Structure 1
Amino acid sequence: MWLSLREWTGRFAHFGISAILAVEECDMGALPKPMTIDEFLAWEERQELRHEYDGIQTYAMTGGTLAHAAIQINLTSALSRHLEGKPFRPFGSELKIRTQAGIRYPDAFVTCTEGDLNATIAPDPVVIFEILSKSTAWQDLGVKTIEYRDMPSVRRYVVLQQTHRAAEVFYRTEEGEWVGEFAGADSVLAMPEIGIALPLSEFYRGLALP
């Protein structure tokens, strides 16, 4: 059974995610004028750490856990193997993507658009992956879900758990609605947008997780 975005966020009220939906409707007139995306990119070049930007606030990209790193390696390796010979290219978190609101560094994503080899922003992601952690859950399951939904090229967004083998999967239906599903440990993750289907267990290979 699929759920609309507003129904889906109700499942994660303990992360404070339900409040995220109010951001789309609030009046920002009283707040200081935020940086433009171009101003942010110029600012980031002067920083030692990479940063994400949601159009209002910047967030430093710091180190993660061993589980996060292992899942990310499994994820990018599996995508590379299964997409070989197809007109799609997977990338890890080294590259930025540009949303309508700001700049993000997804843990992995797939694009079918060739870009400039010197570019630091990848064009037109089709499927995006994030690996959930407690400190970023409110973004990954809240504001990023809205940002990625609003990108015309994005057809699917997968949020992988790092404490157990499961995922929250958001995708665009043929009618254009953005809906969510839960994928359990034994699920096969169908991604018709890029022509593959992968057992969720591939992303957790070598990890003793429930």
Structure 2
Amino acid sequence: MFIGTRHAYFTPEEYLNIERISPVKHEYLQGQLVAMAGASKAHVIITGNLSALLVNHLRGTGCISYAVDMKVRLPALNLFYYSDLAVTCDQRDRASNEDFILHPKLIVEVLSDSTEAFDRGDKFSDYKTITEFEEYILIHQKQILVEQFQRKSNNLWVPQIYRAGDTIEFTSINFVCAIETLYENIEQLS
């Protein structure tokens, strides 16, 4: 089966098989494959910086941080999304040999012009259906700015904004760092 052929619908299993061999990553939206754009240098640096910090922070906690290439599956909605970074502390995700997770407690997206509206809107709305999901982080790459959304109840998500000079705190995993650490090695931010 080739991605170039026209198919009205791919099953989740067909999608996973295609994704394992495809040089281009795709998200899965109810049977349709949507190709993902490449990332900017700033996007890659921010994701790498945060990933390095979280791997060290989570060591020995039973939680695992997945960066870039791990899919989050939402079976009830028939979706697979790639988050920029996700943390799961659920043993079911650790025990599974699948190339996706089902129970993230923290999800991070680094915003780009082409994905910002989707990351803020439909994607966040879909992620909210995950029972274990507690915290959503949006990191801007053109300025030092991080937006945090914390679940306080099923329908209440409390926002918090962090700017230059602030200390960020991801409460779902007890992580704290200076916001500038995320932007280390990026030149000319406004």
Short-chain TM bin: 0.7 to 0.9
Take 2:113 and 2:142, find their aligned partners in 1: how far apart are those partners?
10
Partner of 1:192 in structure 2? 171
Cα 1:71/1:117, change in 2 over 3 Å: same
Select the residue among 149, 162, 178 that pairs with 1:183: 162
Instruction: Kindly indicate whether residue 107 of structure 2 is the aligned counterpart of residue 132 of structure 1.
Output: no
Partner of 1:7 in structure 2? none
Take 2:11 and 2:149, find their aligned partners in 1: how far apart are those partners?
28
Q: Which 5+ residue runs of structure 2 have no aligned equivalent?
A: 1-7
Contact map agreement 1:155 1:171 (CA 8 A) in 2 = yes
Instruction: Kindly indicate whether residue 52 of structure 2 is the aligned counterpart of residue 103 of structure 1.
Output: no
Partner of 2:98 in structure 1? 119
Take 1:46 and 1:205, find their aligned partners in 2: how far apart are those partners?
33
Take 1:173 and 1:34, find their aligned partners in 2: how far apart are those partners?
37
Paired amino acid for 1:97? V
**Offset at residue 164 of structure 1 (A):** 0.7
Q: Which has the higher contact order (CA 8 A, sep 6+)?
A: 1
Instruction: Kindly indicate whether residue 45 of structure 2 is the aligned counterpart of residue 66 of structure 1.
Output: no
Paired amino acid for 1:147? D
Take 2:10 and 2:151, find their aligned partners in 1: how far apart are those partners?
30
Q: Percent identity?
A: 28
Give the CA RMSD over aligned residues. 2.3
SS in 2 for 1:72: helix
Take 2:121 and 2:153, find their aligned partners in 1: how far apart are those partners?
23
Instruction: Kindly indicate whether residue 144 of structure 2 is the aligned counterpart of residue 169 of structure 1.
Output: no
Take 1:154 and 1:177, find their aligned partners in 2: how far apart are those partners?
13
Cα 1:113/1:186, change in 2 over 3 Å: same
Partner of 1:91 in structure 2? 66
What TM-score do you get using the length of structure 2 for normalisation? Answer: 0.82
What TM-score do you get using the length of structure 1 for normalisation? Answer: 0.75
SS in 2 for 1:75: helix
Q: Which 5+ residue runs of structure 1 have no aligned equivalent?
A: 1-32
Q: Which structure: greater strand fraction? A: 2
Paired amino acid for 2:85? A
Q: 1:70-109 CA distances to partner (integer Å, 9 max, x unpaired)?
A: 1111010111122223221111112111124300111111
Count how many residue pairs are aligned between Structure 1 and Structure 2: 179
Take 1:63 and 1:164, find their aligned partners in 2: how far apart are those partners?
20
Contact map agreement 2:12 2:31 (CA 8 A) in 1 = no
SS in 2 for 1:69: helix
